[in-house]
Structure 1
Amino acid sequence: MAPLRTLVIFLLLLLALVPALSRPDGGGSGFYDPARVTQLSWRPRAFLYSGFLSHDECDHLVNLAKGRMEKSMVADNDSGKSIMSQVRTSSGTFLSKHEDDIVAGIEKRVAAWTFLPEENAESIQILHYELGQKYDAHFDYFHDKNNLKRGGHRVATVLMYLTDVKKGGETVFPNAAGRHLQLKDETWSDCARSGLAVKPKKGDALLFFSLHVNATTDPASLHGSCPVIEGEKWSATKWIHVRSFDNPPDVSLDLPCSDENERCTRWAAVGECYRNPKYMVGTKDSLGFCRKSCGVCDA
């Protein structure tokens, strides 16, 4: 009878967890449910999490941002400075890290889902797209040395949708493998038909990687935000770098780019650039041994 009693207790405990697992926030600020994640693509690596945020969390982020919005900027490819451009016509603002308990909980959940440290991530950026506003196709990794100095390339992006959009506003990947295999009816915009696309749905989150597993840049990660045709779009973006963004080492990018160990490429491919940055990338006092494979300097 003892084994049966143990089994009954286990099942009761499991049933007690079901309500928490089915909550919109995943049952806790740092909890995530892999059963809600769908693989969208392997080139680029892209995944959709249904109900990553609760509707209350979405509304909270929007309310925090209102009254603080400014014209969105883009990074100049040569200087790395933020400049205005018709490529990006939305408005936006950055929240402070751990601005309140809700923001801190979302940041913790992002780290749990991506398996990337919180310190590697930038603050959450809230974006607002009104009628006709968009962000043309672009890469989240950098083309200039200045932005690489703090945290290196952006390895991953988590895009959280804070509202539904009546029409348009899709996230589209024009270079994605298999983009022509996605079936689309009349509810999709013409822009979305140019590639693999994701419709904004309040509470959902899109995770995609801008670097290959060997830390080289992935051209298939080219993506854009389609123009809003009807309604408005609010979203929250979390960019995550290959190493600490909060405490970046002072590593010069002007020194020769090289690997000091023949195994660097293999180590980078299995994630050692993120797990062992002191050896692979280096610190403010010394250069790492696999800077080329980690993509933190010019080849």
Structure 2
Amino acid sequence: MNTTTTQQITPELRQWIVAQASAGQPPDAVLKSMIDSGWQEEVAVVALEDTLRSYLADHAKANGLPMPVVVPEPLMMAGEVMLNAGDREVQVLSHMRSPRVVVFGGLLSHDECDELVALAAKRLTRSETVQLDTGGSEVNSARTSEGMFFTRGEHDICRRIEARIANLLQWPLENGEGLQILRYRPGAEYKPHYDYFDPAQPGTPSILKRGGQRVASLVMYLNTPTRGGATTFPDVNFEVGPVKGNAVFFSYDRPHPMTRTLHGGAPVLEGEKWVATKWLREGRFE
């Protein structure tokens, strides 16, 4: 490959990138291969992102699927295990590309976890889910937790964590919903579901007025249950054990099951599970 200081993104390079993606190579592996072959990192990143975005858009159009959108994404080089989140170094414990899932270690300190639990404890009510028929919310038998919402920036700790998330995921702070705190008692669960709003439902247009679609979710574990309570991804047989201070991030570039982001909260078998959830929208959430 060309290694001059004026490297050009050629049709041949784009064809090679598409061929690698079609063969199942993850983007970070393709990027590493380009850099190892002499491409400047900044040129390689632009070529990879532009080519894959165009390829996915063409694929969606040809197959009558929703168009993909840009989504939050941590800045990770191949093999990198520590990420700078502004005020804290966060560990990458594992990740996959399809679905896009990243498990973070130490996103929150134990003191931060305890403070969120203490602030939320007196405000818990039976958890509700969005009612897509009307755009409102309702108690749902599939979700048997208790919860509450902080408004964005409601407390110093909320502002600190929200800024950290914005840095880590390279997404505007104002595009995030307020933190939701949930408590799952023994036997409580959240059956598999998607976090995006179904475009086919009549209540969705009303919901989208507040910031557009959800495009990513971040579930932060505020304690470690004695047994049970994993976050599950049934489509790919993957689960994340809840460990205090850790988190699982997943993104979905269109509101469609092809994102393979079906997920759930397995029943808590012993003890309690506390989590903080952050949903990220396409635009500013009001």
TM-score class, shorter-chain normalisation, is: 0.5 to 0.7
1:41-60 matched pairs, under 5 angstroms: 41-60=96-115
Aligned CA-pair RMSD = 2.0
1:89 alignment counterpart: 144
Amino acid of the structure 2 residue aligned with 1:160: M
- Structure 1 stretches of at least 4 aligned residues deviating more than 6 Å after TM superposition: 26-29
Contact 1:175-1:219 at 8 Å conserved across structures: no
1:245 counterpart = 2:261: no
Return closer, same or farther for 1:27/1:225 CA change in 2, 3 Å cut-off: closer
TM-fit CA distance, 1:80:
2.3
Deviations 1:67-117 (A, max 9, x none): 100110111232222011111010000112222222211010010111010
Contact 1:45-1:209 at 8 Å conserved across structures: yes
Mapped to 2, the partners of 1:92 and 1:127 lie a distance apart of: 4
1:127 counterpart = 2:177: no
Q: Aligned match of 1:162 in 222, 232, 247?
A: 222
1:58-137 matched pairs, under 5 angstroms: 58-137=113-192
Return closer, same or farther for 1:55/1:105 CA change in 2, 3 Å cut-off: same
Contact 1:211-1:217 at 8 Å conserved across structures: no
Q: TM-score scaled by structure 2?
A: 0.66
1:287 alignment counterpart: none
TM-fit CA distance, 1:30:
3.4
Contact 1:32-1:113 at 8 Å conserved across structures: no
1:33 counterpart = 2:89: yes
Mapped to 1, the partners of 2:141 and 2:205 lie a distance apart of: 24
1:202 alignment counterpart: 244
- SS state of the match for residue 141, structure 1? coil
TM-fit CA distance, 1:28:
9.7
Deviations 1:43-84 (A, max 9, x none): 110101101100000000000001100110111232222011
Q: TM-score scaled by structure 1?
A: 0.63
Paired positions, count:
200
Amino acid of the structure 2 residue aligned with 1:33: E
Amino acid of the structure 2 residue aligned with 1:164: T
Contact 1:94-1:123 at 8 Å conserved across structures: yes
1:226 alignment counterpart: 266
Return closer, same or farther for 1:104/1:30 CA change in 2, 3 Å cut-off: farther
Mapped to 2, the partners of 1:170 and 1:149 lie a distance apart of: 33
TM-fit CA distance, 1:41:
1.9
**What 5-or-longer segments of structure 2 have no aligned partner?**
1-81, 199-203
Q: Aligned match of 2:233 in 158, 165, 173?
A: 173
Mapped to 2, the partners of 1:137 and 1:29 lie a distance apart of: 30
Q: Relative to total residues, which structure has the larger strand share, 1 or 2?
A: 2
- SS state of the match for residue 168, structure 2? helix
TM-fit CA distance, 1:175:
1.2
Deviations 1:113-162 (A, max 9, x none): 11010100000000000010011111110012221221111111111000
- SS state of the match for residue 61, structure 1? helix
- SS state of the match for residue 82, structure 1? strand
Deviations 1:240-259 (A, max 9, x none): 0011113xxxxxxxxxxxxx
Q: What percent identity do the matched residue pairs reach?
A: 42
Mapped to 2, the partners of 1:45 and 1:39 lie a distance apart of: 11
Mapped to 1, the partners of 2:244 and 2:278 lie a distance apart of: 16
Deviations 1:260-298 (A, max 9, x none): xxxxxxxxxxxxxxxxxxxxxxxxxxxxxxxxxxxxxxx
Mapped to 2, the partners of 1:112 and 1:226 lie a distance apart of: 30
Contact 1:71-1:90 at 8 Å conserved across structures: yes
TM-fit CA distance, 1:32:
4.1
